[in-house]
Amino acid sequence: MSDVARLAGVSIKTVSRVVNDEPAVHPDTAERVMAAIEQLGFRRNLGARNLRRGSSTGTIGLIVEDVGNPFYSELNRAVERIATSFGRQVLTGSSEENSDRERELALEFCARRVDGILVVPAGMQHGYLVPEMRAGTPVVFIDRPAGDIVADTVLVDNIGGTVEAVTHLVAHGHRRIAFLADSPDIFTAGERLRGFREGCARAGVFYDERLVIMRTPTPAGVSEAVRQLMSGPEPATAIIAGNNRVAVHLLRALAHAERRPAMISFDDFELADLLDPPVSVIAHDVSALGHAAAEVLFARIQGDQSTPRKVVLPVHLVARGSGEVKP
């Protein structure tokens, strides 16, 4: 700031008044100061300024599994739209499904005095956030609840969506329905398994554990799972993919299969409607998920002291062809 004052021929106090939009600065003087700022490439330290004033730092934190995943990219955009309307910027980090990394990111955001944090949790232990929440930093969990604390949570109807998928496949003649999903210790995978079981029970279909495979999805792992599910005297005639990553690996594994089972993916994904046959999905509005979570967070930032809330957003089946294949 002293360099700007020297170049403009004014005092440091005058520079401070100009950059903070304070009154009582002559327009000609303000113009000289702004020209000096531009020439020197000076930038205000908004965080330091706001901390001195004891006010907002103008940022919120968002922790997702992987910013490269289209699901989380869309979620991030939705959060940014709401944050922008409140005059905030979003700091985003990927936990890579690692609870230690999640904790590291959350505490780093808190150290930077963000106004609030949105978390897609990677782990089940979130007690480390309690001191930050007591100090006034609101935290909202997205897509999965916190493991060991009570906090605001925004989810989708995981159970109802899988029930609908099973019901749809049974209506098209399937009785040997497989469920291929992520690791069962992930909340969404576990809830979708519950929905699969409930759907089988409602439809009067035998729940066969041999048709349920849950593990971290990799191309090789899903290919092996498909071989297992499609072999033997009673192979699966339909497969429900537990999320869009599983669905993509599943499509690759089925690309050269002699027989294609019916398929429904929980989560839509890009180009799913252009494949042959187009992929039927259990869809939900990812933007609505981000909007709802951000709106809850900003309500807290603005002083909402009500009890923690749980918001569950609806899902719906989009029948495109793959889920309507007969056995």
> For the segment 180-212, what is each residue's pLDDT rounded down to a tens digit?
999 998 899 999 999 999 999 999 999 999 999
User: Which amino acid appears at position 6 of this protein?
Assistant: R
pLDDT per residue as tens digits for the range 50-83: 444 445 789 999 999 998 888 899 999 999 999 9
| Average pLDDT over every residue of 159-180 | 98
Q: Compute the distance between CA of residue 20 and CA of residue 16 in angstroms, rounded to an integer.
A: 6
Q: Report the pLDDT value the prediction gives residue 51, as an integer from 0 to 100.
A: 45
Mean pLDDT confidence for 289-294 = 98
In this prediction, residues 80-87 reach a mean pLDDT of: 96
The confidence score (pLDDT) of residue 54 equals 47
pLDDT at 164: 98
Query: For 162-172, what is the mean pLDDT?
Result: 98
Of 156, 212, 228, 155, whose CA–CA distance to 180 is shortest? 212
pLDDT computed for residue 18 by the predictor: 76
Across the range 301-311, mean pLDDT stands at 95
Q: What percentage of the chain exceeds 70 in pLDDT?
A: 95
Measure CA 51 to chain center.
29
| 135, pLDDT greater than 60 | yes
| Long-range contacts of 44-52, Cβ-Cβ distance < 8 Å, separation of 24 or more | 44/19, 47/112, 47/113, 49/20, 51/113
Can you tell me the mean pLDDT for 271-284? 95
pTM: 0.79
With beta carbons less than 8 A apart as the criterion, state whether 223 and 253 touch.
yes
Residue 23's pLDDT is what? 75
3-state SS assignment for residue 44: coil
For residue 46, what pLDDT band results from cuts at 50, 70 and 90? Answer: very low
Domains located in the chain, CATH noted: 2-44 (1.10.260.40), 57-155+286-313 (3.40.50.2300), 158-283 (3.40.50.2300)
HSE-up of residue 80 (Cα within 13 Å, Cβ side): 9
The DSSP bridge partners found for residue 312 are: 155
Contacts by 203-208, CB closer than 8 A, 24 or more apart? 203/166, 203/167, 203/170, 205/166, 205/170, 205/175, 205/177, 206/175, 208/176
- Residue 265's beta-bridge partner residues? 241, 281
Tens-place pLDDT, residues 6-35: 888 888 888 778 777 777 788 888 888 888
The tokens 């106004």 sit on which residue? 115
CA 204 to chain centre: 34
Q: Is the dihedral of CA 149, 301, 99, 216 positive or negative?
A: positive
> What is the per-residue pLDDT for 43?
56
More confident residue, 45 or 8: 8
Averaged pLDDT score across all residues of the chain: 91
pLDDT at 123: 87
pLDDT at position 234 over 60 = yes
Query: Which of 184, 206, 208 shows the shortest CA–CA distance to 194?
Result: 184
Instruction: Look at 49 and 90; give whichever has higher pLDDT.
Output: 90
Report d(CA 214, CA 203) in Å as an integer: 22
pLDDT for res 22: 78
In whole angstroms, what is the distance from residue 6 CA to residue 15 CA? 10
Q: Residue 70: exposed, middle, or buried by beta-carbon count in 10 A (0-12, 13-18, 19+)?
A: middle
